[in-house]
Amino acid sequence: MFPPEFWYELARLENIHYSPRSRPLRWGKYVMAFVYAAVDKDIAKELKNRIPNPQHGQNLHQLLKEYGRERMAAQLNQVLGVMKTCRDMDDFKRKFAWVFKKSPLQLSFFDLVEASDLMD
Look at residue 21 in the predicted model and tell me its pLDDT.
85
Look at residue 25 in the predicted model and tell me its pLDDT.
84
Distance CA 107, CA 73 (A): 29
Distance CA 93, CA 95 (A): 6
Local structure of residue 116 (DSSP, 8 states): H
* Closest CA relative to residue 98, chosen from 87, 107, 111, 110: 107
The more confident residue out of 86 and 53 is: 86
Each residue of 2-30: pLDDT tens digit?
889 999 999 999 999 988 888 898 988 88
pTM beyond cutoff 0.85: no
Each residue of 73-117: pLDDT tens digit?
888 899 999 999 999 999 999 899 888 876 555 555 555 445 445
CB 93 within 8 A of CB 19: no
